[in-house]
Structure 1
Amino acid sequence: MASSDQALFHYCLLTLYITAPPTFISLRFLQAPYGKHHRPGWGPTMSPPLAWFLMESPTLWLTFLIFPFGRNFNNPKSFILMSPFLLHYFHRTCIYQIQLYLNNTSQKSGFPVTVALMAFGFNLLNAYLQARWVSHYKDYEGKDGRLFWWRFLIGLVIFIGAMWINIWSDKVLVGLKKQGGGYKIPKGGWFELVSCPNYFGEIVEWFGWGVMTRSWPGFGFFLYTCANLVPRARANHKWYLDKFGEDYPKGRKAVIPFVHRGFFVFIVFIGFSFVCADPLLHISPQCLAVWDFVVQWLQIVQTVLSRLVVPPQTKISLFDQTFQDLLLGNLHC
């Protein structure tokens, strides 16, 4: 029974990592048809608040179903660690949808059922991975356990700060919809820096979650969040520019303020090193296969970025050597 559960966990984890690259690539060319990008031809639709409630709900009920069966169920640290995840999804699943319904700001065109079903499937997968890791597979004692509170507190500060950005941004957007008269240019706060601070906040939230858990599932969720939200933010940014033209602030970035996109990819590399440098993570062959696959994908991304933003004579640079030393030479799994 234990070996079958471990195999299920590893293959679900492999699925999480493998789906991130095609998600990123496909969303560069085809946006999910809701919100600003709504278009016909995706089958039946349903009320957007109801769709969001149903497709996000596995993160709550599946977590509560899985938790009692974990070997860490009686360890208070497991409940403390899981609480930020549940806090985010309680707000996203319940509170935010109630606000949309009460403010009558939902899309009149409806939300495609096919998109809701795909999101429901992903949330089933992700809720299982995060809850099973925290409640069963994470080691809260020993050498790694002594650093638990430091990692948790650092990650929690990142998580709460980013969650505030996410909630505040959504509140601004809901307020603009409530005014009526079609789409308007959001202004103030983080909207002066990026077009989609709600997406930026959510990306940083799950980076904080990865710091708290220091796990393959935690960092895999952060990676998938980037693959899902960064292309959509870029599409939203282009939509704003096309719609408002010269009236739209030219200095705004799409989603990540201050830093160059190449540096952001480098941060992702650092995150992988952070996860894999822990010798207490007893990585199975399946997880090593995940690593090999993702490293190859990231190498391709880094090569493409270098061709786009680096002069030809400096493409083979110190950055390439640092990447190799950091992620391949110092891997301790």
Structure 2
Amino acid sequence: MPSSLLLTPAYKTVLSSFHLFPLHAPITLFGLNAPHGKFALENSRLNLNGKLAWFSMEIVSPSMALYTLYTSLKASSTSLSPPTLLLLVLYLIHYANRSTISVLRSEGMADSHIAPWLAAVGFNSANGFLLGRYLSMNPTGPDAFSNPIYWAGVTLWVVGWAGNVAHDEILLSLRRRSRLLSSFPSSVSSTNDSSKKSKPLPASSNSITIPSANPAQPFRTYFIPDGGLFRFVSFPHYLCEIIEWTGFALACSSPIIVASTLTAEGFFQPGLVSAGGWRLLTPAWVFVINEIAALVPRALAGHTWYKEKFGKRMPKGRKAIVPFLL
């Protein structure tokens, strides 16, 4: 059970507020695309460097989680149980790859408008605070290593994380190829005929080349990703990330799930209700729901973009994020 010292009004307020995040999904579903990535506003004065923006907004989550975890453990004079410590390591592995390794390995990232950057910093700050405080309560208990549901959750996390990394690697490879094709024109204007414009090198039947407002890269080449789950969906890395955090939440809730005989009790934060009297989900499960609310609309918008740009070249039957369904 959580220490009453850790169930502070601030924790309750942030957790209650975080439950409201999915309300943005209907707005996002009906045409409001965050201006970054494929939907970046190339000429906006409010744009931020893509790599710097990505690193700075993603590093917030583990930084906040570690700070909150440290101060919470110190205040309650407790330490992490080995099962909870393992979950912390998994969490940090994800964000080490997401915030730093992927940025260092990427040759370039599209600029990001300051609006989604600010939203991401706010989201990651709240999420890091909540998960840091939640893990300090040792939700797994000391005996989770003998709990099959705990290991089922850890296994699900590993499968999701591996799938996320593998499909991101496919996208990184395509971005490298895109920069190569977009940076070298097939014909250079002669000094005697300045009216001729350079054209991009031909790519392939599964690619398109679009003019760019960036003088350093006058063309952008996009590909239809292939391989792995890309055969079934346009955004398998999103699907794998949802699977990953579902496994994490399942492992966190494993003692309660077993004790309550697989009822919904494991989804709720013990000892807390909202100001309106409704029970609050644990931060781990709220994170899963918020990931779904954020990633599903983004996947649907991106899938529509692919279909509009590539038309009949898009593989028949490919869905946005859930194979055969969505």
Normalization by structure 2: what TM-score?
0.72
User: Which consecutive residues of structure 2, in runs of 5 or more, have no partner in the other structure?
Assistant: 182-220, 254-266, 268-281
Task: Give 2:212's aligned residue.
Answer: none
Give the residue type in structure 1 aligned to 2:9: A
In the alignment, is residue 113 of structure 1 matched against residue 111 of structure 2? no
Give the residue type in structure 2 aligned to 1:249: P
Task: Give 2:150's aligned residue.
Answer: 152
Contact 1:194 1:255 in 2 (8 A): yes
- 1:205-257: CA deviations, max 9, x gaps? 11111111125211110000000000010111111100000011121110011
- In the alignment, the residues of structure 1 paired with residue 79 and residue 53 of structure 2 have an alpha-carbon distance, to the nearest angstrom, of 31
In the alignment, is residue 73 of structure 1 matched against residue 79 of structure 2? yes
Q: Secondary structure at the match of 1:243?
A: helix
Task: Give 1:267's aligned residue.
Answer: none
Give the residue type in structure 1 aligned to 2:109: S
Task: Give 1:228's aligned residue.
Answer: 294
- 1:253-281: CA deviations, max 9, x gaps? 100114x46xxxxxxxxxxxxxxxxxxxx
Contact 1:27 1:231 in 2 (8 A): yes
Contact 2:68 2:129 in 1 (8 A): yes
- In the alignment, the residues of structure 2 paired with residue 130 and residue 239 of structure 1 have an alpha-carbon distance, to the nearest angstrom, of 34
Pick from 92, 101, 105 the counterpart of residue 86 of structure 1: 92
How far the C-alpha of 1:62 sits from its partner, in A, is 1.6
Q: 1:290-305 to 2 correspondence within 5 Å? A: none
Q: 1:238-257 to 2 correspondence within 5 Å? A: 238-257=304-323
Structure (1 or 2) with the greater helix fraction: 1
Q: Secondary structure at the match of 2:34?
A: coil
User: Which consecutive residues of structure 1, in runs of 5 or more, have no partner in the other structure?
Assistant: 262-333
How far the C-alpha of 1:149 sits from its partner, in A, is 3.5
Contact 1:140 1:148 in 2 (8 A): no
Normalization by structure 1: what TM-score?
0.70
Change (3 A) 1:6 1:93: same
How far the C-alpha of 1:81 sits from its partner, in A, is 2.2
Give the residue type in structure 2 aligned to 1:138: P
Pick from 23, 35, 38 the counterpart of residue 36 of structure 1: 38
Q: CA RMSD in A?
A: 2.2
Q: 1:1-333 to 2 correspondence within 5 Å? A: 5-20=7-22, 22-28=23-29, 29-39=31-41, 43-68=45-70, 69-70=72-73, 71=76, 72-100=78-106, 104-107=107-110, 110-136=111-137, 138=139, 140=141, 145=143, 149-180=147-178, 181=181, 182-214=221-253, 215=267, 216-258=282-324, 260=325
Give the residue type in structure 2 aligned to 1:135: S
Change (3 A) 1:137 1:162: closer
- 1:77-117: CA deviations, max 9, x gaps? 321221211111111011011111xxx2322xx21122111
- 1:274-330: CA deviations, max 9, x gaps? xxxxxxxxxxxxxxxxxxxxxxxxxxxxxxxxxxxxxxxxxxxxxxxxxxxxxxxxx
Change (3 A) 1:91 1:4: closer
Give the residue type in structure 2 aligned to 1:32: A
Aligned positions, number: 251
Give the residue type in structure 2 aligned to 1:187: D
